[in-house]
Chain A
Amino acid sequence: MIVRLMNEGQYRIDDSLIGRLNELDDQATAAAEADDEPTLDQALDEMFELVKREGQVLPDDEIATSDVLIPPSDLTLEETKQLLTHEGFIPDLPSRS
């Protein structure tokens, strides 16, 4: 699966990470709905860290469309909300694990 960390670049991640990302995604969505910016930012930071730690940077010359976009935590709450849909940043795909 290909993930774009917005303003940072694209990463290829193993499908086994989807479950954990989905959990964080749920936290982020709930926090955004509750206008809880610190929790939202924390969840987004953790998603960024997880993808950077476990994923592989997509080479610059590889052209691919991302399956998921994750916004950076320094967006304002309003900006992030505009990007969120009811299922969060990540569509609820069944994880393969």
Chain B
Amino acid sequence: MPGLMNRASTVVKAKISKLLDRAEDPGETLDYSYEQQLQLLQNVKRGVADVVTAKKRLELQTTQLEQSVVKLDAQARQALQAGREDLAREALQRKSVVQQQLQGLDQQVQGLQSQQEKLISSEKQLSAKIEAFRSQKEVIKAQYSAADAQVRIGEAATGIGEQMADTGLAIQRAKDKTEQMQARAAAVDELVAAGTLEDFTAGDQTELDRELQQLTTSTQVDDELAKMKAESGAGDPQKELER
């Protein structure tokens, strides 16, 4: 008989019934339950704020990587003008890898935006339900017998628990995703700083992915190198590369 719902609600119900056991007086249970909800709501609000901050940081990282693409491009030109084709090639290689990584990141940051909107709306739903619980609890206290009140408290608390669990899941997912993306952005950052291409691509890619990426990279590098050579009249090597 049980589908997904029963499994989830069993957890919620177990927690609720523990809560209900704590107080004999339904009025007390209601107040206690409401206090708990308010505390949990604070956690939820903090969680949402964390996700928003993390996303902003990620956007900043993306901007910095975009700037490093521009910088690497300029360095490659400089190197070529100085007659250092080997350095120009290396700079373009790094630039190409950063660009490929940036492409994926950009899309993911956009995806995170919609996740964040849902998260905020979910938090609003939770706040509204807790507020509704506050007014309902006064009605229950005033109008119902102890036994009826217990049933109604149970129902309301379970409903709130479900919303809480859903909002919590949304926060967790958004956090996980931002962390993954930050790690990726940081790795690209390091790559730009240190230039260890092999280490970077050793992540979760398959051998084929790596080969394909290398192929793309080297073709792109050759193309750009040819273009730059054409632009600068195939190099007149007087200037030294500024480092």
CB pair A68–B4 under 8 Å, yes or no, is: yes
Stretch at the interface among B131-139, B191-199, B215-223: B131-139
CB pair B121–A9 under 8 Å, yes or no, is: yes
CB pair B129–A89 under 8 Å, yes or no, is: no
Q: Is B201 an interface residue (CB 8 A)?
A: no
| CB-CB nearest in chain B for A71 | B4
Q: How far is the CB of B115 from chain A (nearest CB, A)?
A: 8
| CB-CB nearest in chain B for A89 | B4
In the complex, what distance in Å separates the CA atom of A61 from the CA atom of B162? 14
In the complex, what distance in Å separates the CA atom of A88 from the CA atom of B6? 11
CB pair B5–A66 under 8 Å, yes or no, is: yes
Stretch at the interface among A35-43, A48-56, A79-87: A79-87
Measured CB to CB, the residues of A under 8 A from B are 4, 6-9, 25, 60-69, 71, 75, 83-85, 87-92
CB pair B136–A69 under 8 Å, yes or no, is: no
B115-155: CB near A (< 8 Å → 1, else 0) gives: 10011011011001101110010000000000000000001
In the complex, what distance in Å separates the CA atom of A71 from the CA atom of B165? 13
Q: Which of B5, B6, B9, B129 contacts A63 (CB 8 A)?
A: B129
With a cutoff of 8 Å between Cβ atoms, the chain B residues found around residue A84 in the complex are 4
With a cutoff of 8 Å between Cβ atoms, the chain B residues found around residue A89 in the complex are 3-5
CB pair A63–B4 under 8 Å, yes or no, is: no
Q: Which of A64, A71, A75, A87 contacts B2 (CB 8 A)?
A: A87
Number of chain B interface residues as a range: 20 to 34
Q: Can you add 10 more A-B contacts, CB < 8 Å, to A65-B155, A85-B2, A89-B5?
A: A7-B170, A8-B118, A60-B132, A63-B155, A63-B159, A64-B159, A65-B158, A69-B8, A75-B173, A83-B7
CB proximity to A under 8 Å, residues B170-196: 170, 173
- Some 27 contacts from A to B, beta carbons below 8 A apart, are A4-B162, A6-B169, A7-B166, A7-B173, A60-B125, A60-B129, A61-B131, A61-B132, A63-B132, A63-B155, A63-B156, A64-B155, A65-B155, A65-B162, A66-B162, A69-B4, A69-B8, A71-B4, A84-B4, A85-B2, A85-B4, A85-B6, A87-B1, A87-B3, A88-B4, A90-B4, A91-B1
Measured CB to CB, the residues of B under 8 A from A are 1-9, 115, 118-119, 121-122, 124-125, 128-129, 131-133, 136, 155-156, 158-160, 162, 166, 169-170, 173
With a cutoff of 8 Å between Cβ atoms, the chain B residues found around residue A64 in the complex are 155, 159
In the complex, what distance in Å separates the CA atom of A35 from the CA atom of B206? 20
With a cutoff of 8 Å between Cβ atoms, the chain B residues found around residue A60 in the complex are 124-125, 128-129, 132
CB pair B4–A65 under 8 Å, yes or no, is: no
Q: How far is the CB of B55 from chain A (nearest CB, A)?
A: 16
CB pair B122–A63 under 8 Å, yes or no, is: no
| CB-CB nearest in chain B for A62 | B132
User: In the complex where A4-B162, A9-B121 touch, is A69 in contact with B132 (Cβ < 8 A)?
Assistant: no
CB pair A91–B124 under 8 Å, yes or no, is: no
In the complex, what distance in Å separates the CA atom of A96 from the CA atom of B128? 33
Max count, chain B CB within 10 A of own CB: residue among A9, A62, A84: A9
